[in-house]
Structure 1
């Protein structure tokens, strides 16, 4: 019985750890774009002001995340 419980806990733990990864990271509306970040860039900014603050003093600018701009819109119910 004890072995079964331990096996179940290990299996559940492996499933949780396997599900988290860089692909699951949240992407926001604004992207820092420049030579160092490429395209679409570093899309970790909720507001343009946050992005511009990060771009300040760098050879970079801010643009709208193309995944957000061209995402399928929800229909109102």
Structure 2
């Protein structure tokens, strides 16, 4: 009885540790999404290449599209360059 309780406690702790350490990927990380069918917009955005997405949707009545969060998001604007320093010109 004692061994069974210890085994169940160990199993539970192992499963809990596995669940706690797994972090879901953010949707903005990958540029391609499987869209249509059972997926809401923007879809399952878990593919780094178009080929990976095509392989995943094959036979599932889905299609691949760009991740709108990465494709149509606001682009970063570089900060303006500081004005160029010039030496004063000596009068004649």
Bin for the TM-score computed over the shorter chain: 0.5 to 0.7
Runs of 4+ in 1 over 6 A off after TM superposition: none
Higher relative contact order (CA 8 A, sep 6+): 1
Alignment of 1:33-72 (within 5 A): 33-72=35-74
More helix by share: 1
Larger-gyration structure (1/2):
2
Q: Output the aligned Cα RMSD.
A: 2.0
More strand by share: 1
Number of residue pairs the alignment of both structures matches: 57
Which residue is equivalent to 1:74? 76
Q: Structure 2: 5+ residue runs without aligned partners? A: 1-19, 80-92
User: Which structure 1 residue ranges, 5 or more long, are not aligned?
Assistant: 1-16
TM-score, normalised via structure 2 length? 0.53
